[in-house]
Amino acid sequence: MTSLFAVTDNADIIALQPRLTDEDPGVRRIALIELADLEEPDGLLWLVDRLSQDPTEEVRAEAARLLEAWEDEPVVQALCQALTDPSEAVQAAAAQSLSLLKSAAAGRVILPWTGHADLRVRIAAFRALRELRCADAATAAANALNDEDAGVRREAVGVLGWLKQLEALPALAQLASDDPDTEVRRAATGALGLASDAQVLPALRQALQDQAWQVREEAATTLGKVGHIDAGPALVQALGDDYWQVRLRATRSLGRLRYAPALDALIETLGHRISNLRKEAALALGELSDQRAIAALQAAQDDGDPEVRKAVRIALSQLQ
């Protein structure tokens, strides 16, 4: 077994070389781990080499995992190339390492891979770009909103959300209402939270009526983040949703908005059989700063759930 990087002056790496090229894949894998622990540049070349050249998938996958802390261009390029490895284990390890990158410069290396023919590569590339805030990725992500694969569309939404691309709001609103995939609609609904004005309210109100409760839950959360008082009526209506998860997020958002007309509905929620809802209702009532909530909160001071009692104390302290 040969290596592209067999020549080095580093004594520690030289001592490891026989094991790095051993016939036993288990020996090679452990040697790679020890090599990574050295944190030497010459060792980095060996890791890249084993990722692309080793005949055993377990060793290649280990190399991909060990490269997660490196953001040098050759490493990022090697990890991108590993997304096309015939082994799913190697692909997954490379995708995970790419997703942990933090450098915007790495994003420019990853960007061309968003147009790869393999949808798994496109998904992994966009996922890696999501938190890098690489401005150059905006155009590719916007184009990918029309990708045939739901996973690609979902990751592209994430990139646009992290980049706070206001220009993408109309397209995101369209996805939130029309995409056939629940998770894409949910992601697009959440991404609308990058707006801070009323332009996204129609799309979010529509999302509150979505057939999937996960999308309605996201809409209730996002309406609170947008912070526009005109979201209040739709959120009050959402307190009657069939799913308690939607009601909880709507309750929390009403408190965040300090929507005074929600007083009676929140007092009613304070008596709900689900303790998490009672807790959120108590906290929301405290945010309203309405003295009329005091009597209901005082009556809830002996609630059977300690978390609810704590929330009631917090709310009362805000009102008294």
pLDDT tens sequence across 266-310? 999 999 999 999 999 999 999 998 999 999 999 999 999 999 999
- Tell me the average pLDDT across 228-240: 96
The CA distance from 110 to 100, in Å, is: 13
Q: pLDDT value at position 90?
A: 97
308: tokens are 């609810």
**8: confidence class by pLDDT, cuts 50, 70, 90:** low
Q: pLDDT value at position 190?
A: 96
Q: pLDDT value at position 253?
A: 98
The CA distance from 193 to 162, in Å, is: 11
Question: Which pairs count as long-range contacts for 122-126, CB under 8 Å and 24+ apart, including other chains?
Answer: 122/147, 122/149, 122/152, 122/155, 123/149, 123/151, 123/152, 123/155, 124/83, 124/91, 124/94, 124/95, 124/98, 124/99, 125/80, 125/83, 125/98, 126/152, 126/155, 126/156, 126/158, 126/159
209: tokens are 């009526």
Above 70 in pLDDT, residue 88?
Answer: yes
What structural domains and CATH numbers belong to the chain?
A: 164-229 (1.25.10.10)
Percentage, residues of the chain above pLDDT 90: 81
Q: Are 277 and 311 in contact (CB under 8 A)?
A: no
The CA distance from 130 to 16, in Å, is: 37
Q: pLDDT value at position 165?
A: 85
Q: pLDDT value at position 5?
A: 46
Q: pLDDT value at position 3?
A: 44
Q: pLDDT value at position 119?
A: 95
Q: Are 175 and 184 in contact (CB under 8 A)?
A: yes
For 156-210, the pLDDT digits (tens) are 999 999 888 888 999 999 999 999 999 999 999 999 998 877 889 999 999 999 9
